[in-house]
Amino acid sequence: MDSDDEKLTIENVDEQIEHYLSQPQADISATATTIFHTVHNLQSIYAENRRLEQVWARINNQVSALNAGNISSNVEVSTIQSAQEEKQVRPTSGEVFSHPVLHRAGKRSQRPFIWNWRMPGFSLAAAVILLVIFFGPLVSYALYGTSVGIIQSLTPRNTPQSQPTMDIASMKKYSNQYFTIQYPSNWVITQVTTAGSYQQTVQFRPSVTSTVFINIDVLLDNKYSTDQLLHMDPDVKLGTLISTSAVTYHDIPWTVGIVELTGSAHTRAGKLEVAYSHQRIPYKIELGTTADKFDAYTPVFNTILASFHTQTTPVVTSVATPTVMPAVRPTATPIDKATPSPTIMASPTTSISDIKVYSSQYFTIQYPSNWVITQVTTAGIYQQTVQFRPSVTSAVFINVDVMYPNDLSNDLLLLMDPDVKRGTQLSTSSATYHGIPWKIGIVNLLDSVQGQSSKVEVAYSNQNTPYKIELSAPPDMFNSYTQKFNTMLASFYSVS
């Protein structure tokens, strides 16, 4: 371009054109050559500008692909700003127009330097983000014991053990004059007792020999609140009450407690959940298991508790006497003292035709032929428990317990007996049958919850295996059954 052309820049091109057009007609023809050169220069400028924009567009596309979208935005902004700077920068007076190619080359020469420090910056930022995402949750877990974010999704969750909330199809219904309740259809009713310490007791077990049981007790009427009933419960007094709660089902409020029973030398540790309700009639529902089985059966207990309904018109007339009287009546004269003579060997007073023999891997014993075996339990608090009653609903029972091996003497076993601790020991004596020495105690029990007492005769022997044989009966019936107890005790043989 000539000297006039050198005065022309991309910024003042409009002014130059207006200047040429404002000249007289004579001057326009004189300057036609100049206008031609100007137009030619403008075409070159715009063509070069378009070519550079296409080049930078291709560069931007390449950078976007390499930097995964994060860096591309910065490059595009930088490119747009550069283009705007080139279009907006106006030279000062007297400044010559610089060729676009040279101007772009100057800008381009700065980009390697810019990218040299931007690329490590982006890499460092990305590394910090990754560290926060992956290691932040680990630090949180180590400091606070909680997993969050990605680690939380990768950490296995401790889902609660499948707890049976049994549907109605898998339940049976039990109903009597006091209450209606549902229980698992594969469970069995192992005991129905009227009178005695309670107006009625119904016992459910997973099987006849299971150590797990759920008792529903209809208490005798009293003025105690549910909280008082719970804290006066014999098991709560013997064990440790670890928690209490309140729950309401069908407008029946319950006070619930969980009790740990510490095992002794001859018993295993157990765990109970006891619920008391007292509206018109006080009720007690109790789950008893060994400690290792407790959690597995608490959902079943809660399901049974939730299904409990009281009868609208309960019958409570003959609550103090059994509805079924024992069919067996001793022929011997009742004795006033339950203490057997150590020198006189007791022998069955009934004839051989009136007895049955029960044998297990632990012992053999004789019992009246018209009595029934209402419970055979293996494992649990004892290695085995066998319960005999005059009838299924009788308040009288005789238990034969096979205890776990221990080194305690007969005297210590008797003194450590839970009933002896709770009650009043009336007398102790010793007896020997078939070379087996026994320590025997008679205990009065006054149940502070129900206000009704019972009487217990318990015998302990510990040679190769410790055994416990116990008679329990209401006080007014106790003397009538001591002879039967002594007859069964005398027939006992251990299996060596």
Domain boundaries, the chain: 3-123, 168-310, 352-494
Banded pLDDT at 123 (limits 50, 70, 90)? low
pLDDT score of 247 more than 70: yes
Per-range mean pLDDT, top range of 13-22, 89-98, 138-147, 393-402: 393-402
Query: Which has the minimum average pLDDT: 61-65, 154-158, 453-457?
Result: 154-158
- pLDDT for 144 equals 46
Query: Which has the minimum average pLDDT: 38-47, 319-328, 431-440?
Result: 319-328
Greater confidence (36 vs 399) lies with: 399
pLDDT score of 319 more than 50: no
pLDDT score of 31 more than 60: no
Banded pLDDT at 348 (limits 50, 70, 90)? very low
Return the percentage of the chain with pLDDT > 90, whole number: 32
Greater confidence (422 vs 487) lies with: 487
**Which of 281, 283, 227, 219 lies closest to 256, judged by CA?**
227
Query: Which has the minimum average pLDDT: 5-14, 93-102, 248-257, 375-384?
Result: 93-102
pLDDT score of 432 more than 80: yes
User: Hey, what CATH class is 168-310 in?
Assistant: alpha beta
Greater confidence (81 vs 103) lies with: 81
- What is the dotted CATH code of the domain comprising 352-494? 3.40.1000.10
pLDDT score of 463 more than 50: yes
Banded pLDDT at 124 (limits 50, 70, 90)? low
Note if the pTM is more than 0.75: no
Per-range mean pLDDT, top range of 230-234, 345-349, 399-403: 399-403
Per-range mean pLDDT, top range of 20-24, 105-109, 405-409: 405-409
- pLDDT for 327 equals 35
Same fold across 168-310 and 352-494: yes
Average pLDDT, the chain: 73
- pLDDT for 401 equals 95
Greater confidence (148 vs 298) lies with: 298
Greater confidence (127 vs 140) lies with: 127
What would the two tokens of residue 93 be? 């007076």
